[in-house]
């Protein structure tokens, strides 16, 4: 083996050199026509908000590590990157600094690119995507028009969520606890506005059912998505209103409790409310509705306060019993779910129960608990039970009761089975400048007219100001009649931009289409998607929706965009998530200067399980630094390892080596990077033992050196390249083949057998692997511990033997 000797490991001497070589040779460039099996590896693209810190880097290190690993395993890897570049922070920062949002964004992108490069993170930059580029948003607009054509984009007047700080409307998903997702202290307001929506509810069933296809997604993300969609099966029942020609339609998931209805409730916004209210109740009802409208969403949705409501004076008729039921108005009933009206069953619904208690309304039991477990009337009994006080249905239980009543209701024409969702249509209009313009004009005579495809993109004006304040932008002519028209001045929610970027990467330079269907079908689905758990609902749900619509339009085959998802934890320091505002972020620049990019990468992987949050400790980076120094010295300066006695032999070294190949390969595959680092450290220690024991630097040693370098490469690529070169490796280590392990070499031929007496460890024996039970028993009974426990010649009452592991003697 040819070894170039030099002074010790100085990462700064080698890192920028290899970064330049990788870039010049286009190492991470993906070949669309490669004969190798494809592997689409993707990290969630960032919003370029400024300097990156090591908390952000965790995501990119994982992605880079995995790309390099899969390349070595002979996959043709597509590992692209881009920028989710539209959005409010750019506008806010621009206002503060007096810059154009685009200038601010481009500067941040340039800075972040430098930081990624200095960490040795590689992408196929020829496919870089920036969502605020006209080359990109032209196709975002094109896709909007596709949705419009397919009836999936519509404009509607609706009560919408308005953030008073950002001066824009928000999607349902962007309202968190009744507050704006970006300002947790700012309650959203309700406004009635005409806005654009995407009909995601049309896909509710498929979005829910196809979660079943996502075998390789974390369970908690699948549960969160299923809960968000919130499908429920129930029955709609029409109750006639006394003295009116109208019916009051309600939705219930418990038709088996229909005999327990004792009153009815309308939401304050319900259109029927005016009509059912009697003159003597009018002023009270109006006052109540006024108050409910003024209340913030937070106060109204709070489950803590006592329920409020007033009687309307109106009456409804239970179609099953003919009973007269008083109609109330109360804000615990939501206009936005079901029909905005409910039948109240205080005996078996906790909310109705509380309301009934507060206002002295009757409570009736129609579901009997299994064994008289009912504790008086302190709460509603909501679990399953047997129907009672329900006429012909008495005695039915659970689903049988549901079905019998539902059938009866349908036969008599009182109502019908229905499915409801929690999911709402996606409100995408934003009253902001720095976003993708909605390609629509409003013509005085033709109404809403889509911008013709050959006129795309609708460019943002250079001037940074509200679009609705820029006459040269919004005054235009109608493409249909040539008459005066006004442009839509809202821009799209930035989550639209990020709902299809993974498709654009497959043909990022395409000038004729958002993406080339052939290339999209070649690369999709994304094989490995890595990002933060905070996107569990918004981004991942929207992207799934887009993928399905594009599938239906015949543009792409896959019905799900992301085959395997990994959500990594956040990095904390001083107990809090690293962030710019807290000033506790570790800058990659400082780390690279002090310890080197490789040590930083390894530490970030070693810090803990990647799916969990991890606390960054500055001193602990020393471990990975020392490890790399040790590897360097072992490989380039083995003469300096003192022979301090008997160490492991060549057979032991090879066994450890092949065990390590197996362990590291499995750990990389399953994202257990922390234990992969530990395994490599153990191998380095074993190599040191070998040399210290006077081991020769022959074929076994060379095998260990070449293998160690390649196992290390995905994690610490700079030092791996340098060592690879100096030990005479062919080509780049990045292009080298991943080592295979030999199961026979890796097998232990001698194992430690634990001897237990009554379940307590009493001895340990070195025995040949695969020892059979009689032989093991004989050995164990002869041991000192066994003789002491059993006395001379005593026989155990029982012996439990687990091959190669343990033998338990029960006296």
Partner RNA sequence: GUCGGCGUGGCGGAAUAGGCAGACGCGCCAGACUUAGGAUCUGGUGCCCUCGGGCAUGGGAGUUCGAGUCUCCCCGCCGACACCA
List the interface residues with RNA, window 510-569 (CB under 7 A): 533, 536-537
Distances in Å between the Cα of 617 and the Cα atoms of 423, 582, 589, 620, 674 are 42, 16, 17, 5, 15
Tokens describing residue 351: 């909310």
Q: Which stretch binds RNA (CB under 7 A): 117-125, 185-193, 541-549, 799-807?
A: 799-807
Least distance from C-beta 45 to RNA, angstroms? Answer: 22
Question: Is there binding between residue 575 and RNA (CB under 7 A)?
Answer: no
For residues 137 and 627, which CB has a smaller minimum distance to RNA in the complex? 627
Question: Is there binding between residue 176 and RNA (CB under 7 A)?
Answer: yes
Q: Which stretch binds RNA (CB under 7 A): 19-27, 247-255, 356-364, 499-507?
A: 247-255
For residues 507 and 783, which CB has a smaller minimum distance to RNA in the complex? 783
For 782, counting Cβ atoms within 10 Å of its Cβ (0-12 exposed, 13-18 middle, 19+ buried), the class is exposed
Question: Is there binding between residue 338 and RNA (CB under 7 A)?
Answer: yes
Question: Is there binding between residue 761 and RNA (CB under 7 A)?
Answer: yes
For residues 122 and 614, which CB has a smaller minimum distance to RNA in the complex? 614
Considering only residues 10 to 49 of the shown chain, the ones binding RNA according to CB under 7 A are none
Among 145, 677, 708, 734, binds RNA (CB under 7 A): 677
For residues 481 and 800, which CB has a smaller minimum distance to RNA in the complex? 800
Q: Of 688, 662, 687, whose CA–CA distance to 675 is shortest?
A: 662
What does the DSSP assignment read for 370-407? TTS---TTSS---S--EE-S-GGGTT-BHHHHHHHHHH
Tokens describing residue 66: 């995995």
Question: Is there binding between residue 383 and RNA (CB under 7 A)?
Answer: no
Considering only residues 683 to 702 of the shown chain, the ones binding RNA according to CB under 7 A are 685, 688, 692
Question: Is there binding between residue 614 and RNA (CB under 7 A)?
Answer: yes
Among 555, 607, 631, 711, binds RNA (CB under 7 A): 607
Question: Is there binding between residue 342 and RNA (CB under 7 A)?
Answer: yes
Q: How many CA atoms lie within 13 A of 704 on its CB side?
A: 31
Least distance from C-beta 615 to RNA, angstroms? Answer: 5
CA distance 285 to 267: 11
Considering only residues 617 to 656 of the shown chain, the ones binding RNA according to CB under 7 A are 617, 619-620, 622-624, 626-627, 629-630, 642, 644
Distances in Å between the Cα of 301 and the Cα atoms of 171, 193, 295, 341, 355 are 17, 22, 10, 17, 15
Contact assessment for residue 86 and residue 456, using Cβ atoms and an 8 Å cutoff? no
Q: What is the DSSP letter of 216?
A: B
Question: Is there binding between residue 573 and RNA (CB under 7 A)?
Answer: no
At residue 379, φ and ψ (nearest 5 deg) are -155, 170
Least distance from C-beta 535 to RNA, angstroms? Answer: 11
Q: Which helix (H) or strand (E) holds 764?
A: strand 760-768
Q: Which stretch binds RNA (CB under 7 A): 75-83, 120-128, 675-683, 773-781?
A: 675-683
Least distance from C-beta 795 to RNA, angstroms? Answer: 15
Among 98, 151, 212, 305, binds RNA (CB under 7 A): 305
| Three state DSSP letters for 320-347 | CCCCEEEEEECCCCCCCCCCCEEEECCC
Residues that bind RNA (rule: CB under 7 A) add up to a total of 87
Question: Is there binding between residue 758 and RNA (CB under 7 A)?
Answer: yes
- The mark string for 352-381 relative to RNA (x by CB under 7 A, - otherwise) is ------------------------------
Question: Is there binding between residue 579 and RNA (CB under 7 A)?
Answer: no
For residues 37 and 223, which CB has a smaller minimum distance to RNA in the complex? 223
Q: Which stretch binds RNA (CB under 7 A): 91-99, 462-470, 611-619, 711-719?
A: 611-619
CA distance 287 to 492: 38
Considering only residues 770 to 789 of the shown chain, the ones binding RNA according to CB under 7 A are 785
Question: Is there binding between residue 590 and RNA (CB under 7 A)?
Answer: no
* Residue 410: CB atoms within 10 Å: 13
Distances in Å between the Cα of 519 and the Cα atoms of 14, 506, 512, 557, 666 are 37, 6, 14, 11, 31
For residues 219 and 472, which CB has a smaller minimum distance to RNA in the complex? 219
Q: How many CA atoms lie within 13 A of 118 on its CB side?
A: 21
Beta-strand relationship, 263-266 and 189-198? unpaired
Among 75, 147, 251, 562, binds RNA (CB under 7 A): 251
Among 332, 433, 495, 566, binds RNA (CB under 7 A): 332
Least distance from C-beta 516 to RNA, angstroms? Answer: 36
- The mark string for 403-432 relative to RNA (x by CB under 7 A, - otherwise) is -----------------x-x----------
CA distance 178 to 185: 10
Among 79, 131, 491, 808, binds RNA (CB under 7 A): 808
Q: Which helix (H) or strand (E) holds 517?
A: helix 517-523
Least distance from C-beta 227 to RNA, angstroms? Answer: 5
Least distance from C-beta 556 to RNA, angstroms? Answer: 29
Q: What is the DSSP letter of 59?
A: H
Among 6, 191, 216, 760, binds RNA (CB under 7 A): 760
Among 208, 224, 377, 559, binds RNA (CB under 7 A): 224
* Residue 518: CB atoms within 10 Å: 10
Question: Is there binding between residue 446 and RNA (CB under 7 A)?
Answer: no
For residues 74 and 640, which CB has a smaller minimum distance to RNA in the complex? 640
Task: State the first-to-last Cα distance of the chain, in angstroms, to the nearest integer.
Answer: 59
Q: Of 325, 333, 331, whose CA–CA distance to 288 is shortest?
A: 331
Q: Which stretch binds RNA (CB under 7 A): 117-125, 150-158, 338-346, 732-740?
A: 338-346
CA distance 344 to 262: 6
Among 331, 425, 497, 527, binds RNA (CB under 7 A): 331
Least distance from C-beta 456 to RNA, angstroms? Answer: 34
- Give me the sign of the Cα torsion angle 45, 46, 48, 52: negative
């Amino acid at each position: 083996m040819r070894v170039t000797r030099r002074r010790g490991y100085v990462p700064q001497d080698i890192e920028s050199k290899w970064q330049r070589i990788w870039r010049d040779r286009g190492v991470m460039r993906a070949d669309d026509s490669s004969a190798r099996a494809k592997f689409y590896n993707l990290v969630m693209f960032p919003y370029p908000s400024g300097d990156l810190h090591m908390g952000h880097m965790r995501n990119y290190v994982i992605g880079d590590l995995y790309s390099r690993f899969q390349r070595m395993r002979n996959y043709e890897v597509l590992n692209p990157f881009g920028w989710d570049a539209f959005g409010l922070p750019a506008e806010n920062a621009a206002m503060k600094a007096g810059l154009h949002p685009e200038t601010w964004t481009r500067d941040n992108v340039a800075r972040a690119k430098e930081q990624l490069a200095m960490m040795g993170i590689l992408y196929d930059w020829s496919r870089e995507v920036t969502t605020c580029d006209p080359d990109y948003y032209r196709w975002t607009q094109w896709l909007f028009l596709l949705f419009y054509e397919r009836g999936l984009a519509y404009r509607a007047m609706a009560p919408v969520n308005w953030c008073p700080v950002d001066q824009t409307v928000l999607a349902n998903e962007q309202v968190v606890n009744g507050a704006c997702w970006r300002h947790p202290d700012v309650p959203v307001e309700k406004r009635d506005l005409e806005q654009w929506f995407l009909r995601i509810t049309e896909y509710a069933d498929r979005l829910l059912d196809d979660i079943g296809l996502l075998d390789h997604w974390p369970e908690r993300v699948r549960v969160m998505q299923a809960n968000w969609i919130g499908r429920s099966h129930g029955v709609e029942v029409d109750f006639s209103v006394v003295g009116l020609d109208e019916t009051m339609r309600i939705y219930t998931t418990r038709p088996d409790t229909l005999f327990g209805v004792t009153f009815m409730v309308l939401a304050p916004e319900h259109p029927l409310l005016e009509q059912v209210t009697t003159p003597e109740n009018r002023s009270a009802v109006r006052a109540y509705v006024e108050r409910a409208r003024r209340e913030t969403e937070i106060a109204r949705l709070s489950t803590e306060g006592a329920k409020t409501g007033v009687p309307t004076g109106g009456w409804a008729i239970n179609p099953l019993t003919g009973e007269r039921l008083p109609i109330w108005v109360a804000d615990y009933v939501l206009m936005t779910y079901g029909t905005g009206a409910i039948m109240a069953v205080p005996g078996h619904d906790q909310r109705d129960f509380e309301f009934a208690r507060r206002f002295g309304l009757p409570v009736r039991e129609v579901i009997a608990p299994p064994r008289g477990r009912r504790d008086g009337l302190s709460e509603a009994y909501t679990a399953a039970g047997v129907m009672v006080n329900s006429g012909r249905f008495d005695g039915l239980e659970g689903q049988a009761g549901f079905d019998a009543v539902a059938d009866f209701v349908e036969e008599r024409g009182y109502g019908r089975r229905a499915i409801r969702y929690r999911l709402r249509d996606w409100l995408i209009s934003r009253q902001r400048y720095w976003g993708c313009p909605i390609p629509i004009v409003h013509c005085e005579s033709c109404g809403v007219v889509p911008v013709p495809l050959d006129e795309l993109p609708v460019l943002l004006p250079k001037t940074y100001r509200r679009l609705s304040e820029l006459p040269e932008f919004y005054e235009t002519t109608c493409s249909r009649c040539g008459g005066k028209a006004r442009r839509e001045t809202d821009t799209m929610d930035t989550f639209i931009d990020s709902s299809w970027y993974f498709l654009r990467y497959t043909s990022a330079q395409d000038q004729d289409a958002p993406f080339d269907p052939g290339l999209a079908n070649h690369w999709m689905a994304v094989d490995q998607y890595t990002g933060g758990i905070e996107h569990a609902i918004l981004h991942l749900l929207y992207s799934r929706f887009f993928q399905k619509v594009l599938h239906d339009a015949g543009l792409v085959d896959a019905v799900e965009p992301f085959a395997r998802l990994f959500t990594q934890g956040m990095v904390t320091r001083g107990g809090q998530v690293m962030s710019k505002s807290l000033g506790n972020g570790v800058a990659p620049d400082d780390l690279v200067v002090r310890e080197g990019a490789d040590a930083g990468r390894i530490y970030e992987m070693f810090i803990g399980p990647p799916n969990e949050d991890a606390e960054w400790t500055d001193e602990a980076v020393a471990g990975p630094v020392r490890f790399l120094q040790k590897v360097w010295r072992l490989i380039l300066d083995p003469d300096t390892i003192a022979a301090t006695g008997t160490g492991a032999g060549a057979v032991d070294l090879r066994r450890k080596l092949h065990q390590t190949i197996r362990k590291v390969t499995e750990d990389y595959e399953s994202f257990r990077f922390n234990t992969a680092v530990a395994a490599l450290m153990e191998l380095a220690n074993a190599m040191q033992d070998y040399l210290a024991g006077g081991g020769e630097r022959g074929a076994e040693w060379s095998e260990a050196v070449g293998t160690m370098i390649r196992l290390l490469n995905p994690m610490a690529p700079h030092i791996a390249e340098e060592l690879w070169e100096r030990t005479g490796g062919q080509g780049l280590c990045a292009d080298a083949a991943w080592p295979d392990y030999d199961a026979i070499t890796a097998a232990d031929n001698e194992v430690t057998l634990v001897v237990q007496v009554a379940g307590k460890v009493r001895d340990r024996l070195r025995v040949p692997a695969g020892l059979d039970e009689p032989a093991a028993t004989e050995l164990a009974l002869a041991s000192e511990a066994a003789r002491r426990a059993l006395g001379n010649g005593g026989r155990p009452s029982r012996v439990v033997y687990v091959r190669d592991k343990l033998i338990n003697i029960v006296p």
